[in-house]
Amino acid sequence: MIETLGKHAKTAAFELAKYATLEKNQFLQQLAQALVDNTDGIISENAKDLANAEANGISQIMIDRLRLTPERIQDMAEGVRQVAALPDPVGQIINGYTNIDGLRILQKRVPLGVVGMIFESRPNVGVDAFALCFKTNNAVILRGGKDAIHSNKALVQVIKSALTAAGITEHAVGLVTDTSHEVAREMMQATDYLDVLIPRGGAGLIRTVKEQSRVPIIETGTGNVSIYVDEFADLEMATKIVINAKTQRPSVCNAAESLVVHEKIAAEFLPKLQTAINAVQQIDFKVDELAAELMVGQPALEADFGTEYLDYKMSVKVVSSIDQAIDHINHYSTKHSESIITDNLTNADQFQAQIDSAAVYVNASTRFTDGFVFGLGAEIGISTQKLHARGPMGLEALTSYKYLINGNGQTRG
């Protein structure tokens, strides 16, 4: 299966290279409308995945990641339209100059070629990935989890039908319909066909891809996200932000998992926060010894501070200084997103300078770490590594560059 998909995708990538910005944008607008037009069919297939998830005892929070509604399909379509509206990075001249030998050298942005995507649960990921890859003249091979197989098949069929109707090769997108681990491993070894592989999902998936892939990967890390409430924080603001970051949608990677609080405001803040947040949603707090004296919770184990719960759970650590807070967060963080709540400019600057994460906030919820919110359109993932791309990855992250050199007979002596 992977060899067949890979050969088709490799051929498609060469064909896609010819499409100009206007043609790509026109197709993406057509695809957005096709998604909306096929809402009923998509939801019907999604219902099969939801029924299977219920039968297999999957948690309601994880089922929410899987669920498609007319509103979510509208959001998917809007994401595709946003990509169409974005500037096209392909063909941009990054640099241009004439060297000492009289050679005219241009550094030009180009597609990566064939992008592989291994993801879990959320069916919208495949549509986002395709839109971004198509806009950057890349072919894409998608491999979703078995829990979303019916939804992914329905969405890819809509994409393929739209491609065919537009006279574009349907192999611009491929779907791995065999969701076995063996085929996933085969995909990770497909160096003849894939130029890059992007894993997007839980810690187990990402770790497996990192360890087993021979294809170069862009790591989209898990989100053990922290909020630090400083001694100079506006506690009403801090309460509002923590509630939003923890409860608004706990199953996503930018939801807060860890709360770090300065000891000078802990006695006032923690009891009030617990009352306020539990009025919205009951939270299972994992508390250190100092926090245990101020709020109701289970004693925190070492592992709790490094866990991405994706659930209504949260670790709590009380610290004596901003330096201790930064050390604690950097030690346990997955380098995704962190936030400080403070009215002290010096502390805010220190936090943003020393926290080693892709997105570092002052006085705002971590839930904003998102390609759409950052103005990148739909995102293909949030990179927690430092090479090639970091943070929400939009169009530019799906390009490379090459040098074009023009001479008039120069030879090197």
> For position 59, what pLDDT does the model report?
86
> For position 21, what pLDDT does the model report?
98
Q: Give me the phi and psi of 382, to 5 degrees please.
A: -120, 110
b/e for 346-377, b at 16 or more Cβ within 10 A? ebbebbeeebebbbbbbbebbbbbbbbeeebb
> For position 380, what pLDDT does the model report?
83
Is pLDDT at 131 greater than 80 in this prediction?
yes
> If you average pLDDT over residues 327-339, what whole number do you get?
96
> For position 254, what pLDDT does the model report?
94
Mean pLDDT for the chain overall: 94
> If you average pLDDT over residues 180-194, what whole number do you get?
95
> For position 204, what pLDDT does the model report?
85
Is pLDDT at 329 greater than 80 in this prediction?
yes
Q: How confident is the model at residue 205 (pLDDT cuts 50, 70, 90)?
A: confident
Which one of 97-111, 196-210, 389-403 scores highest in mean pLDDT?
97-111
Is pLDDT at 384 greater than 90 in this prediction?
no
Q: Which residue has the higher pLDDT, 376 or 66?
A: 66
Q: How many residues does the structure list for the chain?
A: 413
What's the rounded Cα separation, in Å, for the pair 196 and 113? Answer: 8
Which one of 205-219, 330-344, 361-375 scores highest in mean pLDDT?
330-344
Q: How confident is the model at residue 334 (pLDDT cuts 50, 70, 90)?
A: very high
Residues 6+ away with beta carbon under 8 Å from 48: 150
What's the rounded Cα separation, in Å, for the pair 202 and 308? Answer: 9
Q: How confident is the model at residue 140 (pLDDT cuts 50, 70, 90)?
A: very high
140 membership: H or E segment, kind and range: strand 139-143
What's the rounded Cα separation, in Å, for the pair 362 and 230? Answer: 11
Residue 361's SS3 state is strand
User: Contacts for 294-299 with beta carbons within 8 Å, 24 or more apart?
Assistant: 294/266, 294/267, 294/270, 295/270, 295/271
**Which domains, ranges and CATH numbers included, belong to the chain?**
1-219+385-406 (3.40.605.10), 226-368 (3.40.309.10)
Do the beta carbons of residue 89 and residue 396 sit within 8 Å? yes
Helical segments of 231-312, H only? 235-247, 263-280, 289-292
Q: Give me Rg for the CA atoms of the chain.
A: 23
Q: pLDDT tens digits for 243-256?
A: 999 999 998 899 99
Question: CA torsion, points 191, 196, 201, 206, in degrees to nearest 10?
Answer: 60
Q: How confident is the model at residue 385 (pLDDT cuts 50, 70, 90)?
A: confident
> For position 39, what pLDDT does the model report?
98
Do the beta carbons of residue 365 and residue 336 sit within 8 Å? no
Helical segments of 255-379, H only? 263-280, 289-292, 322-332, 345-354
**Residue that the structure tokens 């490799």 belong to:** 10
Two structure tokens written together for 104: 């005219």
Q: pLDDT tens digits for 255-271?
A: 999 999 999 999 999 99
| Least confident interval from 56-70, 144-158, 352-366 | 56-70
Q: Which residue has the higher pLDDT, 386 or 224?
A: 224
> For position 203, what pLDDT does the model report?
78
Q: pLDDT tens digits for 31-78?
A: 999 999 999 999 999 999 999 999 999 888 889 889 999 999 999 999
What's the rounded Cα separation, in Å, for the pair 242 and 259? Answer: 8
> If you average pLDDT over residues 291-312, what whole number do you get?
95
> For position 377, what pLDDT does the model report?
66
> For position 252, what pLDDT does the model report?
87
